[in-house]
Chain A
């Protein structure tokens, strides 16, 4: 029995217990707290090691070979850490809501942990789907809009993500069929990776499969032009769901590309037509979505669109494929997850207190809520990429790593990096403008809010501290990834 199995099972058991009538808040808080401790323990144990650790495999079928196999390397541990942190914060900030909020949060978090910590393609896929279902249901049932509108948003999300999942399943099945070498089908990721090392596929086939996987995983991460589900979904989703989905679950698509697509199809990503397509799409994320975000009139719109936009940087790292850029991408995945969960959590509080998030109606909120303002500032400055917070380290590594091959002539990749840098400026414009407009200056309509009680500040302080600590000491995370990705 591996510690990872406990980590995966704990939230699911807690969700079942809450459903069966156990007191929701103590059970879910206890489970997420224990889970965070377990993941921290595993991370400390792993520090300094390389390769997969804590492995354990329980075969469920012999041919096609499938097994409930767990195992973690640095990347999965970093993402597990992110999941447990955000899950704890998301569960903690739930106040006076029906039990289903706790159940859904636990299921989404548990599903994400399963997806990050298993090493069998079947279970990686299955756990992600498990996490998606409560997301849809919560948007449809408890979304923050009129019933008809939230149902429409939920269906839009479902159709986009469902279609993305099917494309993904097709790509995964294709890869499994191609790599299983004629005899026996295997879904074991390690076996597939070995096969890819020993007998790589022809380059044009690699490119085709990689592209299918890119579209499948990309839709889940709101890669331009498959992004239009994300903004309404995050603006409508209940707070803990928005925190968990944008902070954690969306990283699944990136994780899949990093763990499945890139190692199995290393040359596919570098084939010119695939790379150029990806560069165009990610510029769409950064520049088009950047401009869209600048024109948003509501805070939740700004945040949702900015979250779509920031995915572009991570895709840039995948397009570049250098070691530094990929490590930067993992760092940024962690940083973005923590910071967006922090801001969405605070944003949900604001909406509960004020009833609106329109910029035209807000102003001068800092006067009565100084602590809230400081916490919000952490999220805002992290998003902009202020040195000292984790996002900066990640973005810097991505930009530097992507530009690394510069030898006098500018390739498409280098042009993209130059254009993408303008995204940082755009983030600064919309985030600072939103921050100044909401918290400083005079009150526009007499709306004001007060600081949350001390106990309700804890989850946000937890996330802000994480940003600060890993921002000042990014080696804490980078040390977990000693080998090249």
Chain B
């Protein structure tokens, strides 16, 4: 059995659940949710045992290297967490859905997951486009799912319009690249770009459009405007999915595309690098600085997610250095692996507060620690890691990015990143401080299930363990992805 059967299986399971919901209304949503979770968990367990051989006809547009396998696992873990959070948030979410139904919230994530897994293996731009659309179109539905809530609808409309626009730009870029290089596959593009005879202006225009289109998906400045509204309006589980899953998917495609654009001898290498450095610097600043003035924690996390995207783009701008065992794609993967537990944990906290009748504003966090020491500690760990406090996973990711920038002598970008990190300390610790304040309102003790406690505890532990013992993760990500392309 090969990995792509898992992906097909997941998509099929999503369709089956959709049909069950439509024609068997008496099946409870808990059953549906648990089935979806069981399916995803099974796929995750089978993933390491799947063969990595591909039939000959697939090889031109599909690959199974270390990076692809890593992102497939990443997508599955994210989906599992999102599905569980959806189940936990169901009592609150159903108030805003039609007839209190939730089925698509369990089936669509499976289809999104299949799309993200497929995308990680993409070897040409057509596959990228198809899988990206599979993911994005599913997200249009998910974002607007709480349709009785005006915020969710607003978020849905914004995401739809900007998403469609970015898709258009992306296709336009793909067309130009095809025109310039005569190739759709990343290998072919790389080969053409290394050839000085290729038209530089055409290729550059296409690459820039492609980067703009992908920039929308990963929320890179100046295409980040939609993020705060959409993240705030979407149901919290969907926000997690957008912020972790969709972002990781965007970055895997970016990694692949940049591997081609920045191939040794590429005629557009220096321009693309400059573009990345400027975009990355802008993104960290435009994410971090506005975040300092947010009063809604959910919105704050949205801005923080923009700023994290900025660090990742800066990491991509640092091409491979002999001084690290991690390639720049590896650093991005490492950063995302540390970003997953901390972001999901932060949103878990938000979701659980919502279910218990609290809001998502800073004032709702005031005095949280008094009656909920465990929840407060978990959120503290998550936010400290997002801020990049040493001994948490978040610090190492940032350290790699900073060292890479310093190693290449990108001092301007480095100073922007440092300013953004300093601002980050302010807004994350503002929230932490609020939680431990003793004066003011009394937050009641919140209740949440044992499984949720365990899941959140595991996420927190993984943040702390990765912060002091990152070696296993580095083992997974190395040697450099290109070196072990498995045929």
Residues of A within 8 A of B (CB): 19, 59-64, 68, 100, 122, 125-127, 129-130, 133, 136-137, 140-141, 147, 151, 154, 158, 162-163, 166, 170, 173-174, 176-177, 180, 183-185
The answer to whether B406 touches A173 (Cβ under 8 A) is: yes
Tell whether, in the assembled complex, residue B418 and residue A166 are in contact, meaning their CB atoms are under 8 Å apart. yes
B195 at interface by CB-CB < 8 Å: no
Nearest-neighbour CB distance to chain B for A170, whole angstroms, equals 7
- For B418-436 the 0/1 string (1 means CB < 8 A from A) is 1001100100010011001
Residue interface mask B396-421, A partner, CB < 8 A = 1: 00010011001100000000001001
Docked complex Cα distance between A176 and B432 (Å)? 32
Q: Does B28 contact A (CB under 8 A)?
A: no
**Is B436 a contact partner of A177 (Cβ separation < 8 A)?**
no
How many residues from B make CB contacts under 8 Å with A? 32
Interface residues of B in 83-131 (CB under 8 A from A): none
The minimal Cβ–Cβ distance linking B421 to chain A, given in whole angstroms, is 8
* CB of B437 within 8 Å of the partner chain: yes
- Residue in A61, A176, A180 with the greatest tally of chain B CB atoms within 10 Å: A61
Tell me, in angstroms, the Cα distance from A154 to B426 when the chains sit together: 12
CB <8 Å contact, A60 and B468: yes
Q: Mark B435-471, 1 if CB is under 8 A from A, else 0.
A: 0111100000000000000000000000000001111
From B322, B377, B407, B433, give the contact of A19 (CB < 8 A). Answer: B377
User: Nearest chain-A residue to B437 (Cβ)?
Assistant: A141
In the complex, chain B residues whose CB is within 8 Å of the CB of A154? 433
Return B284 CB to nearest CB of chain A, in Å. 14
> What chain B residues lie within 8 Å of A184 (beta carbons)?
323
Contact B436 A141 (CB under 8 A): yes
Contacts A173-B406, A185-B403 given; does A62 touch B324 at CB 8 Å = no
Interface residue ranges of B306-336 to A (CB < 8 Å): 322-325
Stretch from B42-50, B163-171, B387-395 at the A interface: B387-395
Is B377's CB under 8 angstroms from A173's CB?
no
- Distance between Cα atoms of A173 and B418 in the complex (Å): 13
B294 contacts the other chain (CB 8 A): no
Taking a contact as CB atoms under 8 Å apart, the answer to whether B323 and A19 are in contact is no
Tell me whether B391 and A64 are in contact (CB under 8 A).
Answer: no
When the two chains form their complex, are residues A126 and B470 in contact, meaning their CB atoms are under 8 A apart? no
Chain B residues whose C-beta falls within 8 Å of the C-beta of A158 in the assembled complex: 425, 429
Contact A170 B418 (CB under 8 A): yes
The reply to whether A62 and B323 contact each other, CB–CB distance below 8 Å, is no
Instruction: Closest B residue to A111 by CB, please name it.
Output: B391
The answer to whether B433 touches A177 (Cβ under 8 A) is no
Other A-B pairs, 9, CB within 8 Å; known A60-B469, A185-B403 = A59-B471, A61-B470, A61-B471, A122-B399, A129-B391, A141-B438, A166-B421, A173-B406, A185-B324
Interface pair B324/A63, CB less than 8 Å apart: yes
Complex CA distance for A183 and B324, rounded to whole angstroms: 9
In the bound complex, how far is the Cα of B388 from the Cα of A162, in angstroms?
A: 12
Contacts of B422 in A (CB 8 A): 162-163, 166
Nearest Cβ on chain A to B318's Cβ, whole angstroms: 13
- Compute how far the CA of A163 lies from the CA of B322 in the bound complex, rounded to whole angstroms: 31
Task: A137 to B435: give the CA distance in the assembly, Å.
Answer: 11
User: Which residues of B are at the interface with A, using a C-beta cutoff of 8 A?
Assistant: 322-325, 373, 377, 384, 389-391, 395, 399, 402-403, 406-407, 418, 421-422, 425, 429, 432-433, 436-439, 468-471, 474
What residues of chain A lie closer than 8 Å to B432, measured between beta carbons?
137
With A166-B418, A170-B418, A173-B402 known to touch, is A63 a contact of B391 (CB < 8 Å)? no
Cα distance A162–B474 when bound, in Å? 29
Residues B390 and A130 in contact, CB atoms below 8 Å apart: yes
Residues of B within 8 A of A183 (CB): 322-323
Contacts of B471 in A (CB 8 A): 59-62
Contact B436 A137 (CB under 8 A): yes
Contact B391 A174 (CB under 8 A): no
Which applies to chain B's interface (DSSP): helix, strand, loop or mixed?
Answer: helix
Alpha-carbon gap, A129 to B399, bound state (A):
14
B-side contacts of A133, CB under 8 Å: 384, 389
**CB pairs A–B below 8 angstroms (16 shown):** A19-B377, A60-B468, A61-B471, A62-B325, A63-B325, A122-B399, A127-B391, A129-B390, A130-B390, A141-B438, A162-B422, A173-B403, A177-B403, A177-B406, A177-B407, A183-B323
Q: What separation, in Å, do the CA atoms of A235 and B377 have in the docked complex?
A: 28
Report whether A185 and B433 are in contact in the complex, using a CB–CB cutoff of 8 Å: no
A88 to B439, CA, bound (A): 30
Contact call A60/B470, Cβ cutoff below 8 A: yes
A126 CB to closest chain B CB (Å) equals: 3
Q: Which of B323, B402, B418, B437 contacts A63 (CB 8 A)?
A: B323
Pairs of residues from A and B, 7 with the lowest C-beta to C-beta distance, nearest first: A126-B390, A63-B325, A129-B390, A126-B391, A185-B323, A60-B469, A60-B471
B433-A64 in contact (CB<8A): no
How far is A70 from B395 in the complex, measured between Cα atoms in Å?
Answer: 21
Q: Are A174 and B406 in contact (CB under 8 A)?
A: yes
Contacts of B469 in A (CB 8 A): 60
CA distance A62 to B418 in the complex (A): 25
A59 to B468, CA, bound (A): 10
- Bound CA span A141–B429, Å: 13
Query: Which residues of chain A are within 8 angstroms of B399 by Cβ–Cβ distance?
Result: 122
Bound state CA distance, A91 and B432, in angstroms?
A: 24
Known: A68-B468, A185-B403. A140 touches B322 (CB 8 A): no
Please give the distance in Å from A69's CB to the nearest CB on chain B: 13
Please name the residue on chain B nearest to A174 by beta carbon: B406
- Which B residue sits closest to A176, measured CB to CB? B403
Q: Which residue of A lies closest to B369 (CB)?
A: A100
Partner of B429, one of A60, A136, A185: A136
With both beta carbons as reference points, the residue of chain B lying nearest to A124 in the complex is identified as B390
Q: Which of chain A's residues have a CB closer than 8 A to the CB of B470?
A: 60-61
Set of chain B residues within 8 Å of A163, measured between Cβ atoms: 422
CB-based contact B418/A61 at 8 Å:
no
Q: How far is the CB of A67 from chain B (nearest CB, A)?
A: 10
Are A129 and B389 neighbours in the complex by a CB distance under 8 Å? yes
Q: List the B residue with the shortest CB-CB distance to A114.
A: B391
A184 to B439, CA, bound (A): 51
| Residue ID in chain A nearest B433 by CB atoms | A140
- In whole angstroms, how far apart are the Cα atoms of A171 and B406 in the complex? 11
The smallest C-beta distance from A282 to any residue of chain B, in angstroms, reads 27
Q: A129-B389, A185-B403 are in contact. Are A162 and B433 (CB under 8 A)?
A: no
Shortest distance in angstroms between A143's beta carbon and chain B's nearest beta carbon? 12
Does A130 lie within 8 Å of B391, measured CB to CB?
yes
List chain B residues, Cβ under 8 A from A122: 390, 399
> CA A122 – CA B403 in complex, angstroms?
13
How near does chain B come to A140, taking the closest CB pair, in angstroms? 6
* Interfacial chain B residues near A141, Cβ < 8 Å: 433, 436-438
User: Bound state CA distance, A183 and B322, in angstroms?
Assistant: 7
Within the assembled complex, what's the spacing in Å between the Cα atoms of A147 and B433?
A: 12
A180 to B407, CA, bound (A): 11
Q: Contact at B425–A64, with CB atoms within 8 Å?
A: no
Q: Which residues of B contact A62 (CB under 8 A)?
A: 325, 471, 474
